[in-house]
Amino acid sequence: MESMTVRIVKTCGFQEDNNTTTSNHNVEGCHSGPCRENWVAYRNCRYLFSKESASWEGSRTAWAAQNSSLLQIDSREERDFLKLLSLYHWIGLSLSENEKSWQWTDGSLLSSDLLEVHLSNTRWTCVLSHPGNEVYAKNCSLDERYICKSSSC
């Protein structure tokens, strides 16, 4: 994998692939005015790595009110970008109500070639990212940091 520089930006911009510069021009779907401080921009999406901790449901609720959601990983490129930044954070993946499949908060199912959820306890149904491409099922009531993704990308 090529090296990549990520910068925190305050305006609607995005990191262009593996370049080291950040473009600060209008991105389709950005809110009018500046983006929120401390969001990391990559391609056409923006991510916030929380400094606060909350349960999985608490973190989901906190950001839904701000037009964002817990992270949903949509591609291998996005997964590879995020593994450079992520330590231990809740993402928007949980075991479905019928407990047969992993699904994102928008209801779509996890693609098995994108991530593999490590399950050490069958009662744990929410997913926590770990360094690298690792994700683990954990107890949903644990207070952990979380990753939010702008819903405007």
The distance in angstroms from the start CA to the end CA of the chain is 24
> Given 3-state DSSP classes, what are the helix, strand and coil percentages for the chain, each rounded to the nearest 5?
10, 30, 60
Residues 6+ apart with CB under 8 A from 61: none
- Do 149 and 60 touch, CB atoms closer than 8 A? no
What burial class does residue 86 get, using C-beta atoms within 10 Å of its C-beta: 0-12 exposed, 13-18 middle, 19+ buried?
Answer: buried
pTM of the model: 0.73
- Model pLDDT, residue 44: 83
17-26: average pLDDT: 36
- What pLDDT was estimated at residue 73? 92
pLDDT computed for residue 95 by the predictor? 93
CA distance 24 to 39: 13
Among 23-32, 59-68, 132-141, whose mean pLDDT is lowest?
Answer: 23-32
**CB-CB contact of 41 with 16 (8 Å):** no
**pLDDT score of 144 more than 70:** yes
Percent of the chain residues past pLDDT 90, beyond the cut: 35
The tens digit of pLDDT for each residue in 94-118 reads 998 887 899 999 999 999 899 889 8
Residue 152 CA to its chain's centroid (Å): 14
Contact 69, 61 (CB under 8 A): no
DSSP at 69: E
Q: What is the pLDDT of residue 86?
A: 65
Tokens of 101: 């499949």
Structure tokens that stand for 131 in this block: 């360094």
Phi-psi group of 123: left, alpha or beta (phi > 0 → left; psi -120 to 50 → alpha; rest → beta): alpha
Q: What domains are there in the chain, each with its CATH number? A: 47-150 (3.10.100.10)
